[in-house]
Structure 1
Amino acid sequence: MRWGVIGTGNMGGILIDAWMNSNVMEEKDLFITNRSIQKAYQYKESYPRIQVCEQVDQLVKEVDIIYICVKPLEIYPLLTEIGPYLNKDQCIVSITSPFSVERLESLVPCQVARMIPSITNRALAGITLTTFGERVTKEMQGYLTQSSRLYSKPVSIENNVTRVSSDIVSCGPAFFGYLAEQFIKAASEETEISKETATILTEEMFIGFGKLLADGHFTLTELIEKVCVKGGVTGEGIGSMEQDIGKLFHHLFQHTHNKYNEDIEKIGAQLTN
């Protein structure tokens, strides 16, 4: 199978690195393109045998699987451009949540899947959220699923939980990274620890925290119970969080879903104009 990537920005680039480092395919079987073509050529410095296509139609004609890694509102114009070059045996894979597989299937003659990645895939870890269209063959579904297992854990999801699943899997590292930064900032402002030392300690804590979960030593609830000794310092900290955190995460999900619905409305307007 030959794979193609249209859009070598943040997530497209993460996928390229994940695939190359997990041997999903040989370098020569990956074709990439980007609106700013120099961003695509940069990947040849690390992976010399990758094929860079300066025109998007050139890429479409060469590959079996086409990963679309552009912004949601850029997808419809892109599909309009490449539509004449698609055939029923090819498979388009979208990595963005607002474009449902049903809507994608209505616009192209080929197979359609949605596979939402995470930045954690760069470490050959984390989740890939999968949804397959009705035209996807069992062989293609199996191939894509098995390939994603080389760098992640594929999890099939329904459309009604796409946004919240993506919030957890794809946005979660940024959300908890931001919380970690605030944790470090408060530590350095409230005590004599330097920001640099607090950062090192926090990063190492996260690494160990993840390993505890990955190795199955504790669940999240068990981990809290083990550390939070009754009447101890951790309990005081948890009590403060219970008091101050309020509806923070409720508001977070409300805002992400408002943006999601806004993007869906804009996509719908594109299709009716």
Structure 2
Amino acid sequence: MNITELERVARDIRLRDLQAVFEAGAGHIGGEMSVIDILAALYFRVLKVWPDQPKHPDRDRFVLSKGHTACALYVTLAKRGFIPEDEISTFLKPHSRLNGHPNCNKVPGVETNTGPLGHGLPVAVGMAKAAKLSGAGYHTYVVTGDGEMQEGSNWEAIMAAAQFKLDNLTLIIDHNRFQQGASLADTNDLAPLRPKLEAFDWEVSEIDGNDMNQVVPALEHRTSRPHCIVAHTNKGQGISFMQDRVDWHHKVPSKEQYDIAIAELLEAI
């Protein structure tokens, strides 16, 4: 897909994600809105995947380490053909396989269970190392939250990736500056992230993670070292009253707010 097509897909994912959270009465809508441009670019342009063969050995691997934004991943997987689109209406309902965090045993296209923060990147490092050991050609991508980067396990994984020269690994940090209950600056301010990753011998790109013109080339970039993309995003991207508001980490819109959000997203393109 070209940039304009990807922007439309991202808009459609936002609309369906908003509807799913509103109907379920729960979710993590702020962080979902911030990461959707990255998910759209990955699944509709960058990732080598086959929805009819979700376990194809040559597929690229994607890990959503910030697993609480699972709804955005489910909508993306549905639009890409991994699961039926009408199944999104079961999000968080009893017996639904679309739980609040992704489950690789239930949902095609989910590579590993995530939810406890700080686990996804270490698992992704293992996937990338396995490819090196077996001679496989797949690339591994992982998305973490910026608040999640306070977990020490991530920095152990970052050290290991550099040591093993995992040039088949791309880390995307969704740097929306907010986490549950507070801003990153008021919790454990890791910013600026770029020099920290560079100190561990990673190549780092710094982009506007809500600008598809910057997202696509960053994801397609290849280097001789592990690659980190510091994606500056906005919590609640695309919805004026949600944007950069910490209370929208997992708040649910009222009917009036829902209608306003729908209208704003429809005007986006």
How does the TM-score come out when normalised to structure 1?
A: 0.33
Q: Which is bigger in relative contact order (C-alpha 8 A, separation at least 6)?
A: 2
State which structure, 1 or 2, has the greater radius of gyration over its C-alpha atoms.
1
Which structure: greater helix fraction? 1
